[in-house]
Amino acid sequence: MTRVFFTAVLLLAWAARASAEAHPPCDHRDSERRPFFGDLHVHTKFSLDASTQGTRTTPDEAYRFARGEALGLHPFTAEGAPLRQARLSRPLDFAAVTDHAELLGETAICNTPGLAGYDSFACRVYRGWPRLAFFLMNGRGLPRFAFCGEDGAGCLAAARGPWAEIQQAAEAAYDRTAACTFSTFVAVEWTQVGSQTENLHRNVIFSSARVPEDPPNSLAYPSPEALWDALDRDCTPETGCDAIVIPHNSNLSGGLMFALESSSGEPLTAAEAARRAEREPLVEIMQHKGASECSRTSAPADELCGFEELPYDRFMGRFLPVGQETPSPLNYVRHALAAGLAEQERIGANPFEFGVIGSTDTHLGTPGLIAEDADFPGHGGAGIPIGNEIPDSLLEVIEYNPGGLAVVWAEENTRESLFSALERRETYGTSGPRILLRTFTGWDLPEALCDSEEFVATGYARGVPMGGELSAPPSGATPRVAVWAQRDAGTHDAPGVPLAQIQIVKAWTEAGEPREAIFDVAGAAPVSRYDDAACAAPEGGADHLCTVWQDPDFDPASPALYYTRVVEQPTCRWHAHACNAAGVDCAEPGTVRSGYEACCEEAWPRTIQERAWSSPVWYTPE
Helix then strand then coil, in percent of the chain rounded to 5, is 25, 25, 50
Q: Which is nearer to another protein, 14 or 121 (CB)?
A: 121
Q: Which is nearer to another protein, 138 or 287 (CB)?
A: 138
> Is 348 a binder of another protein (CB under 8 A)?
no
CA pair distance 146, 144, nearest whole angstrom: 6
Q: Which is nearer to another protein, 141 or 583 (CB)?
A: 141
> Is 147 a binder of another protein (CB under 8 A)?
yes
- DSSP track, 354-402: -EEEE---BSSS-TT----STT-----TT-----SS--SS-SS-TT---
Query: What amino acid occupies position 54?
Result: G
Structural element, H or E, at residue 121: helix 121-128
Q: Which is nearer to another protein, 317 or 463 (CB)?
A: 317
Query: Using the rule CB under 8 A, which residue among 114, 141, 495, 512 binds another protein?
Result: 141
Query: What amino acid occupies position 418?
Result: L
Evaluate whether 478 touches 551 at the Cβ level (below 8 Å). yes
> Is 203 a binder of another protein (CB under 8 A)?
no
Q: Which is nearer to another protein, 68 or 222 (CB)?
A: 222
Evaluate whether 424 touches 605 at the Cβ level (below 8 Å). no
> Is 155 a binder of another protein (CB under 8 A)?
no
Evaluate whether 287 touches 41 at the Cβ level (below 8 Å). yes
Q: Which is nearer to another protein, 134 or 409 (CB)?
A: 134
> Is 324 a binder of another protein (CB under 8 A)?
no
Instruction: Pick the stretch among 46-54, 166-174, 207-215, 279-287 that binds another protein (CB under 8 A).
Output: 46-54
> Is 136 a binder of another protein (CB under 8 A)?
yes
The single-letter DSSP state of residue 268 is: P
> Is 390 a binder of another protein (CB under 8 A)?
no
CA pair distance 411, 3, nearest whole angstrom: 45
* β pairing state of 405-410 and 427-430: antiparallel
> Is 134 a binder of another protein (CB under 8 A)?
yes
> Is 315 a binder of another protein (CB under 8 A)?
no
Q: Which is nearer to another protein, 312 or 352 (CB)?
A: 312
> Is 391 a binder of another protein (CB under 8 A)?
yes
Instruction: For residue 282, give the nearest of 436, 401, 418, 426 by alpha carbon.
Output: 426
Instruction: Pick the stretch among 61-69, 140-148, 306-314, 611-619 that binds another protein (CB under 8 A).
Output: 140-148
Contacts of 380 (CB under 8 A, 6+ apart): 50, 53, 55, 362, 363, 364
Cβ-based neighbour number of residue 55 at 10 Å: 26
> Is 200 a binder of another protein (CB under 8 A)?
no
Q: In the complex, what is the shortest distance from the CB of residue 102 to another protein, in angstroms, rounded to a whole number?
A: 11
> Is 139 a binder of another protein (CB under 8 A)?
yes
> Is 131 a binder of another protein (CB under 8 A)?
yes
- 16-51 burial code (b ≥16 CB/10 A, e <16): beebeeebeebeebeeebbbbbbbbbbbbbbbbbbb
> Is 593 a binder of another protein (CB under 8 A)?
no
Query: Using the rule CB under 8 A, which residue among 132, 472, 536, 581 binds another protein?
Result: 132
Q: In the complex, what is the shortest distance from the CB of residue 96 to another protein, in angstroms, rounded to a whole number?
A: 28
Query: E strands of 569-609, at which residues?
Result: 571-572, 607-608
> Is 546 a binder of another protein (CB under 8 A)?
no
> Is 54 a binder of another protein (CB under 8 A)?
yes
* Torsion over CA: 90, 91, 93, 95 (sign): positive
Q: Which is nearer to another protein, 148 or 483 (CB)?
A: 148
Q: In the complex, what is the shortest distance from the CB of residue 590 to another protein, in angstroms, rounded to a whole number?
A: 20
Contacts of 3 (CB under 8 A, 6+ apart): none
> Is 145 a binder of another protein (CB under 8 A)?
yes
Instruction: Pick the stretch among 122-130, 287-295, 303-311, 503-511 that binds another protein (CB under 8 A).
Output: 122-130
Q: In the complex, what is the shortest distance from the CB of residue 382 to another protein, in angstroms, rounded to a whole number?
A: 10
Instruction: Pick the stretch among 145-153, 335-343, 426-434, 436-444 that binds another protein (CB under 8 A).
Output: 145-153
Contacts of 383 (CB under 8 A, 6+ apart): 49, 50, 52, 53, 131, 134, 363
Instruction: Pick the stretch among 78-86, 124-132, 264-272, 574-582 that binds another protein (CB under 8 A).
Output: 124-132
The single-letter DSSP state of residue 229 is: H
> Is 457 a binder of another protein (CB under 8 A)?
no
Q: In the complex, what is the shortest distance from the CB of residue 119 to another protein, in angstroms, rounded to a whole number?
A: 11
CA pair distance 310, 86, nearest whole angstrom: 26
Total residues in contact with another protein, by rule CB under 8 A: 29
Q: Which is nearer to another protein, 119 or 553 (CB)?
A: 119
> Is 14 a binder of another protein (CB under 8 A)?
no
Contacts of 244 (CB under 8 A, 6+ apart): 204, 205, 207, 279, 280, 281, 282, 419, 422, 423
* Torsion over CA: 252, 518, 610, 544 (sign): negative
Instruction: Pick the stretch among 51-59, 90-98, 328-336, 415-423 that binds another protein (CB under 8 A).
Output: 51-59
Q: Which is nearer to another protein, 55 or 486 (CB)?
A: 55
Instruction: Pick the stretch among 86-94, 380-388, 455-463, 528-536 that binds another protein (CB under 8 A).
Output: 380-388
Evaluate whether 407 touches 429 at the Cβ level (below 8 Å). yes
> Is 77 a binder of another protein (CB under 8 A)?
no
Binding site for another protein (CB under 8 A): 52-54, 120-122, 125, 129-132, 134-136, 139-147, 319, 384-385, 387-388, 391
